[in-house]
Chain A
């Protein structure tokens, strides 16, 4: 049981380049989330999805887009990367907002992105 898998694990981009981060979960979870983790800032929610075909903005959505075409996948896109987007990105998933599980969120291992 893989849980939540993020690809790639590391990436270096130049300013203005684009990329897509992939998150895949095999737990049939309805809810999926993208967070960024920065020193002194904790985890901040970028976008989230409450089901296939739906997405919503979190705290810091600017500069990012997402898609949830399949229930098991949640993609995070950067159309034109900026140095301010240098961060560690974590994907997470949960079942019905975690009300029936011991662990409300299952996290991936993270993607370390550097934008130069």
Chain B
């Protein structure tokens, strides 16, 4: 079974502070992992995927198969980063399974 856990629902930081959004997954095979972001009342959009190994808007995420984690990090948060963030996993099926999401608020 595929499962994604985002243990924290809310995170509030000040501008310029580092942020880490945690994501753990459960899957027996080789997963594809993604982070999606949803800004206020907008559609979900892809932030990054582990296979690309790139940095988008200053965010990075490293897949740690030993810890079954895919935490999202940014060294210096900006106010425009305030949004809902969803970790998602695609295993062997055609389905993308999402975590419950985490609301990030970056205060000025």
Q: Does B25 contact A (CB under 8 A)?
A: no
Q: Does A50 contact B (CB under 8 A)?
A: yes
Work out how many contacts link A and B, with CB atoms closer than 8 A. Answer: 56
Nearest B residue (CB) for A38: B100
Are A104 and B34 interface neighbours, CB within 8 A? yes
Kindly specify which of B14-22, B42-50, B57-65 makes contact with the partner chain: B42-50
Q: Does B31 contact A (CB under 8 A)?
A: no
Q: Does A8 contact B (CB under 8 A)?
A: no
Q: Does B52 contact A (CB under 8 A)?
A: yes
Chain B residues near A110: list those with CB within 8 A: 43
Are A98 and B52 interface neighbours, CB within 8 A? no
Q: How far is the CA of A20 from the CA of B41 in the complex (A)?
A: 22
Are B95 and A104 interface neighbours, CB within 8 A? no
Are A45 and B97 interface neighbours, CB within 8 A? yes
Q: Does B98 contact A (CB under 8 A)?
A: yes
Q: How far is the CA of A58 from the CA of B97 in the complex (A)?
A: 10
Q: How far is the CB of B2 from chain A (nearest CB, A)?
A: 10
Chain B residues near A35: list those with CB within 8 A: 98
Given the interface pairs A42-B98, A42-B99, the reply to whether A104 lies near B90 with Cβ below 8 Å is: yes
